[in-house]
Amino acid sequence: QVQLVESGGGLVQAGGSLRLSCAASGRSFSTSAMGWFRQAPGKERDFVAAISWSGATNYADSVKGRFTISRDNAKNTVYLQMVSLKPEDTAVYYCAASRGGGAYSIKGLYDYWGQGTPVTVSS
């Protein structure tokens, strides 16, 4: 079993920045792909970013150039640095881990999920 705990969400003004963290425990973090997804009220949970076991990254078009995913295998932690935030980035952000190693954008390929951390961007 894998436990994922997100942190770092909050309220920020448009144009501001936040860094989300996801601490993982329970299995070999370094060989797992990790992803971030988000869900706005009344909408589906959508892909945001992913990082493979080797560090390859994948981003949704809506966040390219503004968000950066990274991982620290020594700390079993994945990060999502978000800059130039927009009101449309408002959502609950979820961390996910996959038994596979690729930077998947499909949520069905992720096996474990955190509880989510809310991000609100005011205009």
pLDDT per residue as tens digits for the range 42-63: 999 999 999 999 999 999 999 9
pLDDT per residue as tens digits for the range 63-74: 999 999 999 999
pLDDT per residue as tens digits for the range 5-37: 999 999 999 999 999 999 999 767 888 899 999
* High-pLDDT (> 70) share of the chain, %: 99
Q: Tell me the three state secondary structure of residue 84.
A: coil
Task: Write down the pLDDT at residue 31.
Answer: 83
What's the token pair of residue 20? Answer: 């989300």
